[in-house]
Amino acid sequence: MQALRLGIIGVGLIGGSLAKDLKLRGFANHVFGVDLNKENLELAKKIEIVDRHGPLTEVVKNVDIIVIATPVNVISKILPTILDLISDDVTVTDMGSTKKAIALSVKGHPKRDQYVASHPMAGTENSGAGAALSGLFDHKAAVICDQNESSDHHLNRVRLMYQTLKMRIIEMTSFEHDQHAAFVSHLSHISSFVLATTVLDKEKNKETIFNLAGGGFESTVRLAKSSPEMWAPIFEQNREDVLIALEAYREHLDRFYESLKNENYEETKKIMEESNKIRKVLSKINTNSTREES
């Protein structure tokens, strides 16, 4: 393939990991970084994630493909401006965890076909360029949304980008994406945030948590370390679907609570047996991917 000049808006965990592997694997030959956090940008330069950095008005003139990897509220804000600024052959994609609100921000834009809506289902609880990891995306899923709105040329570039990252590409509408993401991704984060605040609130002596936490607590609460700056806008943009997911979660929680309250242990056991079915679903993931935990 012909190596491209890559622009990364937001050189954090996602943008940084992506830049690393796309250059390493020959998709990009030059990485131009934009980031509001100067310290982070200097770090990205120092650890050679970006070759050059500068303002947005500069990057749009010097790259073939732009990847926006900022918090989702910033994506909706700058995406129309970026489309305004680019020439006809430049491709734009984003890494946002929500898709509906972002799609809306460029609905009917004359250059809409140069934008490919996407969401790679990968990440860790850490943030910033220093958290960037080679191989972060390998064997995970990348969702491309509303592909009919993008032209083939730009779609193919983004597909090639995800193939270079060794990702499985899945296509759906931005509506479908947000519904499923609310359950499979956003809800995990909330259950983890809530577990952390509950335990921190109860255990005034933090030494007790340290003393008693085993690997189980640690893995369940891991996402509670995630960045509020990244996640508050996700919950805001996907508010309706997240509320639906939370209502469903609360119903299932109440079912468990009632079974215990009523000493209906057959029911408690039945809930656990149902939940055990997740093992089969996840084992398929583990067969196909590098496990984070192994």
Query: What's the min distance (Å) between Cβ of 71 and a copy of itself?
Result: 12
**Residues 102, 89: Cα–Cα separation, whole Å:** 21
Minimum CB distance to a copy of itself smaller for 62 or for 283: 283
Query: What's the min distance (Å) between Cβ of 177 and a copy of itself?
Result: 9
Query: What's the min distance (Å) between Cβ of 234 and a copy of itself?
Result: 10
Minimum CB distance to a copy of itself smaller for 53 or for 189: 189
Residues 6+ apart with CB under 8 A from 32: 5, 6, 7, 8, 50, 51, 52, 53, 54, 58, 59, 62, 63
Query: What's the min distance (Å) between Cβ of 172 and a copy of itself?
Result: 9
Minimum CB distance to a copy of itself smaller for 29 or for 147: 147
Minimum CB distance to a copy of itself smaller for 153 or for 291: 291
Residues 6+ apart with CB under 8 A from 202: none
**Residues 247, 251: Cα–Cα separation, whole Å:** 6
Q: How far is C-alpha 143 from the geometric centre of its chain's CA atoms?
A: 10
Q: What region does 50 belong to: left with phi over 0, alpha with psi -120 to 50, or beta?
A: beta
**Residues 15, 112: Cα–Cα separation, whole Å:** 22
Query: What's the min distance (Å) between Cβ of 260 and a copy of itself?
Result: 6
Minimum CB distance to a copy of itself smaller for 153 or for 257: 257
Secondary structure (3-state) at 145 = strand
